[in-house]
Structure 1
Amino acid sequence: MSIQLELDGPIARITLARPEALNAFTYQAYGELADAVIQANAAPRVSVIVIKGTGRAFSTGGDLKQINDAFLANDRQRIAEVTQLFATNSLRAFTSLESSPKTIVGAINGTCEAGGVGLLLCTDLSVAVRSAVFRVPEGLVGLADPFIPARLPARVGIAAAKRLLLTAERIDADSALEMGLVNEVCEAEDFDRRVEELVADLLEISPATRHLYKRVVNVAQLPFDADIMLRGNMGADAQEGVAAFAARKKPDWPSARSS
């Protein structure tokens, strides 16, 4: 299992457990995440869900090896199938988080990139270790993410969102805090304690009130458009970008040659 769920009284702890792959999500793992959130939602005693990675990363997003394997097969039907599975399962995972009646805490224990940032944006509150770094690198490999552009501008402002989306700039935890991407940054030795203190603070507040406040805040969110992933990730730039990433070379974008 890539996703582990532990029910601990009023707390559900979801652990991203692929440290050898920097907790990258296969399409199966996105499905497992959705299942874990739905299971936690159904637990009547659970009031707070904490999501944390293992190893040195929170998550680096979608598993590019799984995507590249589909391209290498040179099978258009398989590429469409894998892209559809990523779109469907990631949409299900992120929607389950935002619609959850529980309060979601992101414990950002390390590198947070691509779909990891998307996951962070679907949490309600977050604590990041100071050594964490953040990046939206999909454009470097010609892929398109439908979730981050729909949530990032409201969190950090349009100017900062465009900077992160269009340049794939890597930022540190203090910069993420300054722009409002995370709620708190702390040293590694204080990280677990601060996460637990935040959870304890949440548990002092009425669960019903937290749920209603979350509903009111989230009602203004833009809908996710999973078709963006389908259009972008089946294009020639995606095939070139992912192959170049696997070969550790610079991509030669087909869309630049045709423009």
Structure 2
Amino acid sequence: MFETVKYEVANGVAWITLNRPDKLNAFTEQLNKEVQQSIKQASGDKEVRCLVITGEGRAFCSGQDLQGVNEDMDHGEVLRRFYNPMVLELHKCKKPVIAAVNGVAAGAGMSLALACDFRLLSDKASFLEAFIHVGLVPDAGNLYFLPKLIGHAKAMELAVLGEKVNAQEAKELGLATKVIPMEKWQDEITAFAERLASMPTAAIAIIKKNLKASWESTLEESLERDAQGQRLAGLTLDHKEGVSAFMQKRRPVFQGK
């Protein structure tokens, strides 16, 4: 179905693997489109309760494939046609999304990771705001997500200085949920993803929605949104199961309904 992306579903998890390892999974128009399409497919699949985005080979994503860049191209139009739709598809996904950053995430590859809900890094991974090194500015939502994660001042440092951030530094900055040794990589990524896939999916969707809205809301608006969201969560089967399991002193078995 896809040529530049591997897509598979197992145990409630959709695995989306950028698959241009010989080019360090650098973005092309086709890869942009197929990442967008695969996210949309996973979002609409009732069997999927968590998404993992990762890279084939030794890189997560090295950013734009510079072989496709020429001096006559309109960079803004490229963003509008290919990158922005991909990021917006990811941003509107109601299910938890993990960036499994197995290697370098540079330029728009870093932007892709920033747009995810969780970033699990291998101990060989790194982030790089590569844009400044070719006289460009961070794009694909990079400067929207980055300061929300690490604050304005540190985001300015990364974007302007363009210095590589290794996995441990990313963890200290708050960019990484956890750092995983490569020898345990697949087992720990799978365990984390399947844990999310077994949780109350509807509640997670409401948490994501309310967190995003909180940045541009008053306290009163946030309190009302809490009430609306809690009403919806209270009507789910997972809420009933959670209460029942608590009363019976057993582990709940959530169905994502």
Q: TM-score, normalised by structure 2?
A: 0.79
Distance 2:79 2:67 in 1: 13
Quote the offset at 1:204 in angstroms: 3.0
Q: Find the partner of 1:197 among 181, 191, 215.
A: 191
Matches within 5 A, 1:16-35: 16-35=18-37
How far apart are the structure 1 equivalents of 2:9 and 2:211? 27
In 2, distance between residues paired with 1:6 and 1:200?
14
TM-aligned CA deviation for residue 144 of structure 1: 2.3
Say how many residue pairs are matched.
213
Is 1:132 aligned with 2:161?
no
- Write the deviation string for residues 197-241 of structure 1: whole angstroms up to 9, x where unpaired: 21132123200001110111122468xxxxxxxxxxxxxxxxxxx
Give, in angstroms, the shift of residue 88 of structure 1: 2.1
1:145 aligns with 2:164: no
What residue number does 2:201 align with? 207
Task: Give 5+ residue unaligned stretches, structure 2.
Answer: 217-257
Q: Which residue of 2 aligns with 1:85?
A: 78
CA contact (8 A) 1:98 1:218 kept: no
Structure 1 SS opposite 2:46? coil
Amino acid at match of 2:44: A
1:1-259 aligned within 5 A: 1-67=3-69, 70-71=70-71, 76=72, 79-80=73-74, 83-146=76-139, 147-220=141-214
SS of residue matched to 2:137? coil
Q: Which amino acid aligns with 1:20?
A: D
Q: In structure 1, what residue type is equivalent to 2:209?
A: R
Q: State percent identity of aligned pairs.
A: 27
Whole-angstrom distance in 1 between the partners of 2:67 and 2:194: 39
**Paired position in structure 2 for 1:226:** none
- Name the SS of the counterpart of 1:144 in structure 2: coil
Alpha-carbon spacing, 1:220–1:183, altered in 2? closer, same or farther (3 Å): same
Task: Calculate the aligned-residue CA RMSD, in Å.
Answer: 1.5
Q: 1:58-97 deviations in whole A, cap 9, x for unaligned?
A: 0011111101xx32xxxx4xx13x6523432111111111
SS in structure 2 of the partner of residue 15 of structure 1: strand
SS at match of 1:131: coil
CA contact (8 A) 1:37 1:96 kept: yes
Q: What is the CA–CA distance in structure 1 between the aligned matches of 2:8 and 2:175, rounded to whole Å?
A: 27
Q: Distance in 2 between matches of 1:44 and 1:26?
A: 29
Give the alignment's TM-score, normalised by structure 1. 0.78
Match of 2:116, SS state, is coil
Q: Which amino acid aligns with 1:171?
A: V
Tell me which moved more, 213-222 or 18-27: 213-222
CA contact (8 A) 1:27 1:86 kept: no
Matched residue of 1:219: which SS? Answer: helix
Is the 8 Å Cα contact of residues 125 and 182 (structure 1) preserved in structure 2? yes
